[in-house]
Structure 1
């Protein structure tokens, strides 16, 4: 099912015709952004971008969104987004922002989206945080496998919370699930859905524990074996593990409530859902252990050595004696960046949570 995109020019023309009865509900950022927002350049060093806030805008009466949670690019160059509006959990765009297709009517907690190609075909893995399940589908929505509550596999007790937020597929097809809103483990399954192990020790402040294990990805960079990068969002860091669950290191990102890690070429990208106003308090084990700046957020980009090289929408990264200083939102362009997707032209697409039902934003690499 294909639906037409409502762009900035269409909005202007339609507004001019309002007197003859045409009506449209605009994307809130179009009204609140500055006149030259589309020429705004953000970022630092070699990673600077022009902001296109209305890139993904659609007709809200036909294709509404609630939270645009995550986005991936498939082998055809299409941009596939997951959200939690059950009128259309999945939106599929082309790079111009035209909507190609939409589907999904039951994923009330549509949150995580990963793409895996078996060598001949693309598959999606959708994390439904409210539905306590991870669903493998074709790109046109045919469900192939469902992984349910871990108690079914002997991994949890029935009383244990399971609210999966992200998945990643290993080189042999193993499925890694981040239980970021539940019990804060990473669960490893075979490609056929057989349970292998739990990774980490749940919520806490030890090196193998997580404060909101919000995201997970496979890092193939470097000459060694691939590794797991796991988000500990409330602790403002990523943690690296071997594929069989041995802790390796922590990458600190002070001030940044990072979402999932996204690898593109040699760099790591992530949406930052909030900035922090104070430093991390390690003794506090709550989900958000210090005050966050409301309605904040930016994008952060790290090089292959784990050094932050750019913060589009955030303050310029600064290091003192090799230690990264606290990073915060610099300009009110974003509101709760929840994920990023990078295309083959190095453009970045930003999904936002709790952002007045905003559609994805495009950052054009300059």
Structure 2
């Protein structure tokens, strides 16, 4: 009887599996049909130490006729893990992806020079801050592209004389909602406004030699890696440097990254990432096209990896010259870090390519 009982249970279990399998088979096959194809990853690994990656160049499989891009300037990720790409093509200022590269949405403000993109959570609602240096505009929008604030041009507001150029490249939002605007292609100031867009102060300015001033203040970011002492990290691209300031504009220190013409700083966890738009060649210290890579700095402000670039080496506490090693990139303009620590690299003047995804290994 025991053997018969066991046999019956096995028969019922097997019959149930067959029945369920028969019912679910069409659904399962349908699911297989909608699964994304396996990413085509490079066999080569780029980067150093714990920050190494395989490159997926065809992450964004879009038709340029339907979704053209000129330059892929910057990218951010929202709470829902959607990736917002900013381009300067007036037909597609913003393309919204999931992490697999599938297009979710697109919209435009018809900006011909859309350049800087910041995302900020304000009391549970997320907003985008967009700069356009071609027409001196700084816009705050919803995630669907509705403009809710535009910061007045400092020439019109009396902050600049009419002879000072104003070409804003980036924004950062302070802990109290203050808005910091980097005038990276203009007069090299960081301009501070309150959350309503009312001017507070400006700091920085244009100088090769003075440490508290900039040559191409391309980016600005809020550095909260020390939660008890938030500061601003600003990029001085032509000086191959990050510059740290207090929230009220007092200069603190600089970090020199020889060979790296960095774009904006991107804070993720304890690290600072930056796309390097231009590089150098050995024995040629001029800014060189098609020599881009990514650079990563840890909490101690030590460069730990250069995906696409040479391995970071320090001698007597000073960083050696960094050069492009693998010609993966042309001009890297921004890097976005997702919750799995994969990277998405946007490029300027690179033949209209969509972002590359770097899968962390």
After TM superposition, the score normalised by the length of structure 1 is 0.86
The match for 2:158 is 154
Whether 1:215 aligns to 2:219 is yes
| Structure 1 residue 37 displacement after superposition | 5.9
| Contact 1:258-1:273 within 8 A present in 2 as well | yes
Whether 1:264 aligns to 2:268 is yes
| Contact 1:57-1:360 within 8 A present in 2 as well | no
Can you give the 5+ residue segments of structure 1 that lack an aligned partner in the other structure? 1-6, 11-35, 281-289
Q: Secondary structure at the match of 1:234?
A: helix
Q: Secondary structure at the match of 1:215?
A: strand
Equivalences for 1:2-21 in 2 at 5 Å?
A: none
| Structure 1 residue 151 displacement after superposition | 1.7
| Structure 1 residue 302 displacement after superposition | 0.5
Based on CA coordinates, which of the two structures has the bigger radius of gyration? 2
| Contact 1:203-1:212 within 8 A present in 2 as well | no
| Structure 1 residue 149 displacement after superposition | 1.7
The one-character-per-residue Cα deviations of 1:296-332 (angstroms, maximum 9, x if unpaired) are 1000000001100000000000011111000010011
| Structure 1 residue 222 displacement after superposition | 1.8
Measure the CA separation in 2 of the matches of 1:259 and 1:143.
26
Whether 1:128 aligns to 2:132 is yes
Q: Could you tell me which of 226, 234, 242 is aligned with 2:238?
A: 234
Moved more, 38-47 or 232-241: 38-47
Equivalences for 1:63-102 in 2 at 5 Å?
A: 63-102=67-106
Measure the CA separation in 1 of the matches of 2:282 and 2:154.
36
Aligned residues: 326
Equivalences for 1:206-355 in 2 at 5 Å?
A: 206-277=210-281, 291-355=286-350
The match for 1:362 is 357
Measure the CA separation in 1 of the matches of 2:286 and 2:338.
34
The one-character-per-residue Cα deviations of 1:101-134 (angstroms, maximum 9, x if unpaired) are 1111421110000001102111000001112110
The structure 1 segments of at least 4 consecutive aligned residues displaced by more than 6 Å after TM superposition are 7-10
After TM superposition, the score normalised by the length of structure 2 is 0.87
Measure the CA separation in 1 of the matches of 2:170 and 2:113.
12
| Structure 1 residue 41 displacement after superposition | 1.1
Equivalences for 1:18-29 in 2 at 5 Å?
A: none
| Structure 1 residue 240 displacement after superposition | 0.2
Measure the CA separation in 2 of the matches of 1:202 and 1:328.
27
